[in-house]
Structure 1
Amino acid sequence: MVKVSTPGKIYLVGEHAVVYGEPAIIAAIGKRCYVEARKNEKVIITSQELNKSSSFTVDEVVSFTNDMTDLWDKCYNQKDFSELFSEIKKDPLNYAKIAVGKTLSRIEVKSGVSLSIKSDIPVGAGVGSGAALTVTVVKAVSELYRKKLSYEEVNEIAFEIEKLGHGTPSGGDNSTCCYGGLVWFQKKDPKNTIISLKKDIPYKLENFVLVYTKRPEKTTGELVQLVRELEEYYRNKRVKKIGMLACEMLAVLKNRNSSRMKEIINETQKNLAELGVSTPEIDELVSAVKKNGGGAKLCGAGGGGVVLCYHEDNKKLIKTIKDLGYNPIETELGVDGVRIELS
């Protein structure tokens, strides 16, 4: 038996813009996905959070994964991933099923695996629950069969799986979940820029609080497509601005300039709202935090999910959040990436 865990992530700055080649700063958070893997003739996937278990033959899993990969190609050519997203959403275990299929094919193993999945990471909240799951499954299955994959190889396979869930993702989510810490990420051809910021920013980021507003009605892939369908000039102006804010944030973090960091968080939220991915609930929370001298922005794709809040006075921030009826989630930022818990 092998047990592996992977953290979730939040964007300090850069979501949505990162899809168009702008830089982002992403942090691994202290909420993790855990997978226990055992050898089996079949593929058995059990989710403790969903209270659901399904069993498949290895051929069924590989065939389904190949079908979804072919459908991705078709949707990519049509520039519309609606059909793919619809298929994936039919069963909440489909994402894990694809992760197993991709990994077994990559490590050239014909046998199956029994997976038990447990996660502390809120689903559909903009904190990388899907990316953490893919990285954890890839690492757990490959370790179970003693196929030693490097961080780069695990990340590469996880990105292929993420594409089936999100269409044309940046790769930032899976990279941060895999490597951990704070990550400077930029999507580039032929190879993405992924730089650990542990040397530049060796300290932990404090006085940040996560707030879960509501479960988004749209998936990450659907929200990315919504932004893609905006008028090009309107979209690109805001995307470029978010990229500039990411560059400034790096310098601000190095210099520990908390007042400017707060302003960057608020400016980022303004641009994300103009891209159409905020919600009335998020806007209300952001407004309350700003009114009390803090900074707040949505995380991930938006449309609900988690809001990242900051204030030098942590107690004041928590009171503001609780007064609106939310439960603040205090968590470390910049934690370890994927790791083996038991083997």
Structure 2
Amino acid sequence: MSSGSGYGKTILFGEHFVVYGLPAIASALGNTTTCVIEDSDEYELVDDRPATPSYKKEKYDEQVESNKNLYAACGIDVDENPIRVTLAGDLAAASGVGASAASSAAIARALNEHYSLGYDDAKINEIAYEGEKGYHGKPSGIDNTAAVYGGLIWFVKDLEGGLNTMDRLSMPEPVEIVLGNTGLTSSTKQVVGDVRENREAEPERYAKIFSDYAGIVDEAKGALTSGDMKSCGQLMNRNHSLLQDITVSCSELDMLVDVARDAGALGAKLTGTGRGGLMQALTPGKDLQDAVATAIEDKGFTAYKTRIGI
């Protein structure tokens, strides 16, 4: 029996913009997906992760494709050498927390151990990226990087196919956040494709939006590393407005953002694919975190309390 794990993540700044070579900032969460691999008489995938209703069903075909990519990247034939793959952990399988990347990283680590492949973290990250292709088509690479390495990451995708820029950032101390779950699941491939089509149809408008975002993420880097959470929250609010402009938010996300801000959050925005999935709220201090989580739950939504900068 062999095991592996992958971190969940939240994209603090830059979802969608990162696909086009602009910087993004992601943070691993204190929640992980685990994978256990055992030899078996036949191939079997057991998914025991906690999940948003319908998430596993809607993502099943993509999960199958992802796992095929992972096995192929490791040179493993599960038909000739059948294994039982069991996914679990305390990371909810939901849109926006890097669930697919966490599972890809966990499976890659477990395969590495089970077959004594001798991969280092850089290679594990490459393998996890192949797994991400099953879910996202042309992933940015930020989710799997956070899932493998953890911590706080400044990420820039190399659009020429070379090495992506990945710089580790640090915060003075971990900070509490709240994730609000819309309960909706969207297709990352579909949403990313829609943004691409809209950008091609309105190049001047989108150029202005992308330019505005570039300024936001530069300011956010300084705010996070200096511990200026008030400025960080304001920048999150501005980032959410731009995500609304490129049509990746939805009424449920916008409502959760408003609820969090009204309850005292320093800032709030969608995180991840959008059009469902999760909203994140910056809530330094346990009391503020509890207050925002309660406000979200009072509206009938699920709230997750966690920390960034760990």
Q: What are the residue-to-residue correspondences of 1:55-204 with 2, within 5 Å? A: 91=61, 93-95=63-65, 97-105=67-75, 111-188=81-158, 189=160, 190-197=162-169, 200-204=170-174
Deviates most, 166-175 or 98-107: 98-107
Deviations 1:96-146 (A, max 9, x none): 532442244279996332211114333342111111111111111121011
Deviates most, 284-293 or 250-259: 284-293
Q: 1:112–1:291: structure 2 CA closer, same or farther, 3 Å change rule?
A: same
Alignment match, 1:296 = 268
Aligned with residue 308 of structure 2, among 333, 338, 341: 333
Q: 1:105–1:232: structure 2 CA closer, same or farther, 3 Å change rule?
A: farther
Alignment match, 2:296 = 321
User: 3-state DSSP class of the match of 1:332?
Assistant: strand
RMSD: 2.5
CA distance in 1, matches of 2:297, 2:241: 23
Alignment match, 2:55 = none
Alignment match, 2:238 = 267
Q: 1:93–1:113: structure 2 CA closer, same or farther, 3 Å change rule?
A: same
User: 3-state DSSP class of the match of 2:144?
Assistant: helix
Aligned with residue 249 of structure 1, among 210, 216, 220: 220
CA distance in 1, matches of 2:146, 2:19: 15
Alignment match, 1:8 = 8
* TM-score normalised according to structure 1 size: 0.79
* TM-score normalised according to structure 2 size: 0.87
| AA in 1 matched with 2:137 | G
Which ranges of structure 2 fall in alignment gaps of 5 or more residues? 52-57
Shift of 1:167: 1.5
Alignment match, 1:46 = 46
Which ranges of structure 1 fall in alignment gaps of 5 or more residues? 52-87, 336-343
| AA in 2 matched with 1:131 | A
User: 3-state DSSP class of the match of 1:10?
Assistant: strand
Equivalent pairs counted in the alignment come to 295
Q: Percent identity?
A: 30
| AA in 2 matched with 1:10 | T
Q: Is the 8 A contact 1:22 1:240 kept in 2?
A: no
Q: Is the 8 A contact 1:103 1:138 kept in 2?
A: no
Alignment match, 1:227 = 195
CA distance in 2, matches of 1:137, 1:322: 33
Q: Is the 8 A contact 1:6 1:135 kept in 2?
A: yes
Alignment match, 1:28 = 28
CA distance in 2, matches of 1:319, 1:309: 13
Structure with more contact order per residue of length (Cα contacts < 8 Å, sep ≥ 6): 1
Q: Is the 8 A contact 1:3 1:140 kept in 2?
A: yes
Q: Is the 8 A contact 1:2 1:140 kept in 2?
A: yes
User: 3-state DSSP class of the match of 2:166?
Assistant: strand
Q: Structure 1 stretches (4+) deviating beyond 4 angstroms?
A: 106-110
Q: Is the 8 A contact 2:5 2:106 kept in 1?
A: yes
Shift of 1:246: 1.6
